[in-house]
Structure 1
Amino acid sequence: MIFKQKAEALHLEYTIDVPQQNISLYIDRAKLESVVVNLLSNAFKYSSAGGSVQIRVTVVGSSDSSAVYEQQHLTNHYLQLAIQDHGVGMDTAEMNRIFDPYYQATHTESMQVMGTGIGLSLVKTYVDAHQGEVLVTSQPGAGTTFLLRLPFGTTHLDANTLHRMTVGDEPMPVAATLSAPTA
């Protein structure tokens, strides 16, 4: 709701495309909310009035199967969340450094917005802790897309983590269910 209001205030088109079925994931809800809020905040920050920000959630493979990795990359059975803006974008040199702690963009258009430089580093840390991936594509003047990939199943979790999740100890809440927004 906050981002919808922010979009209206900034005169941005804001769309969310989520599958209709419920999708269950084993995640730390607070950390993943932080990841999504950070990526959305950046998308809004670097977009100009009249632009757009889109969220697309897709299921790759089956949500009832365990994730498949090849050469440490998710290849099947994962949730993909794409956050796309049509803002200032980044060049390749910036994209190669955005996950470094305290790195801030030096591109002239990017410097219009100031921040602490820790947000995307934290995003990567949290996603890595979930055995997921965060990828970025961008083009100066055309915008940026972040792809967040989170594995289905539990085989990627060690026994300690899974025990903490199923017992309900503080560090990691039990599985979360993503649902399509209601109209």
Structure 2
Amino acid sequence: MINDILDVAKIEAGQIKLSCQPCNVEALCQSSLVFIKQQAFSKNIQLESEIPANLPPFTIDERRIRQVLINLLNNAVKFTPDGGKISLKVSYIPFLDNAENINFEGMPCDTLEISVVDTGIGIAPDQIKRLFQPFVQVESALNRNYNGSGLGLALVKHLVELHGGEVRLTSELGVGSCFTIALPIMPFCESSIVPEPPLPSTTEAITDAIAETPLILLAEDNEANITMFVEYLSMKGYRLVVAHNGRMAINLAQQTHPDVILMDIQMPDMDGLETIQRIRQIPELADTPIIALTALAMSGDRDRCIAMGANDYLSKPVSLKQLVTKINAYLTEP
């Protein structure tokens, strides 16, 4: 959230300059999808992509447009119920097919459109205009249980407009939403003096590269805590998958084989202590580091957690810096 605040402030102060290079759009889109794959998997959300073959390279600030796409995809996962669907669609529109597309000089130009379509809770028409303002979340009985800073869409709008483009939104309550970024194809920004490393040329290579990022399984039932942990640890470069109860944690641990498990002790259905004990009975997870988290902080809590099979223990409110230190310690153990 702090990074988002700083980015918005820098953009409004004119301190962010685009750094553009020819970009492989298919690789950009596929790598963005990989970042939200685990979150979608945990909610049984189907991911689809529709990307035309043989797209030409486009000159954009690849890092910033990836930031835009991941923001939109994260929102789609957040507001799409379990079992829903999210689609990422790309269209290349030559100016001859749409004479309304113009560049900064008032000349027609080609346009790249990327849409994120979900089957989520939707947005009321009277709320759409407010949606792209910083620190604003729409008021709705459908979405008031979803936490967030309200900065993501403001940042999306700013970054797309820096490219000379626009963000479009169509939405229907209870049906879903479609966010489209339209980028005019033109030399609107200076090329980087030092080009970014090229992306791998295939989806498999991209998936393999991102799969090397440590995967954290967070077992937690409190949505505010989930938002805090996910946003902070994602910012630190980890991938996360979230389980909302003990049984789900066991299933996801077996399916994803995380590098570290963060286990809340007070959970419904099956508490964290029983969950840790059952995970330790699964041979392939017997040595997976588990850090127990508890809000009770009573005498003997640490000993009970260690006795059940946890490697470490932190009491809530958790120091996020201390948590990252502990995670890194287990990741670097031989």
TM-score (norm 2): 0.45
User: In 2, are the aligned partners of 1:18 and 1:181 still within 8 Å (CA)?
Assistant: no
- Give 1:133's aligned residue: 166
Q: Match for 1:55 among 88, 95, 99?
A: 88
The residue correspondences of 1:123-162 to structure 2 (distance < 5 A) are: 123-154=156-187, 157=188, 161-162=189-190
Distance 1:11 1:103, change over 3 A: same
Structure 2 equivalent of residue 109 of structure 1: 142
Note if contact 1:78-1:151 (Cα within 8 Å) is conserved in structure 2: yes
Unpaired stretches in structure 2, ≥5 consecutive residues = 1-33, 206-334
Task: Give how far 1:97 is off.
Answer: 0.7
Percent same amino acid among aligned pairs?
28
1:125–1:139 CA distance, 2 compared to 1 (3 A): same
Q: Aligned runs of 1:94-105 on 2, under 5 Å?
A: 94-105=127-138
Give the corresponding residue for 2:76: 43
Whole-angstrom CA distance in 1 between matches of 2:60 and 2:159: 10
Question: Per-residue deviation at 1:25?
Answer: 1.7
TM-score, length basis structure 1: 0.80
Aligned letter for 1:143?
G
Match of 1:93 among 117, 123, 126: 126
Deviations 1:92-141 (A, max 9, x none): 12111111111112111121211001110010000000001110000110
1:10-48 per-residue CA deviation (whole Å, 9 max, x = no partner) reads 111110111111332221111111100000000000000
Q: 1:4 aligns with which of 32, 37, 47?
A: 37
CA root-mean-square deviation: 3.0
Q: What pairs with 1:72-83 in structure 2 (closer than 5 Å)?
A: 77-83=110-116
Q: Which amino acid aligns with 1:148?
A: I
Contact residue 109 and residue 185 of structure 2 kept, 8 A: no
Q: Is the 8 A contact 1:87 1:142 kept in 2?
A: yes
**How many equivalent pairs are there?**
167
Q: Which amino acid aligns with 1:139?
A: E
Q: Distance in 2 between matches of 1:73 and 1:47?
A: 39
Which structure 1 segments of 5+ residues have no match? none
Question: Contact 2:35/2:70 (CA < 8 Å) preserved in 1?
Answer: no
Name which of structure 1's ranges 2-11 and 94-103 shifts more when overlaid on structure 2.
2-11
Q: Within the alignment, does 1:169 sit opposite 2:170 as a pair?
A: no
Distance, in Å, in 1 between the alignment partners of 2:107 and 2:81 is 33
Q: Report the CA distance between 1:180 and its aligned residue.
A: 7.5
Partner of 2:59: 26
What is the alpha-carbon distance in structure 2 between the residues aligned to residue 28 and residue 57 of structure 1? 17
Deviates more, 1:80-89 or 1:1-10: 1-10
Q: Which protein has the bigger helix share?
A: 2
CA distance in 2, matches of 1:180, 1:60: 24
8 Å contact from structure 1 (residues 22, 180) kept in 2: no
Decide whether the 8 Å contact of 1:85 with 1:145 is kept in 2: yes
What displacement does 1:75 show? 7.1
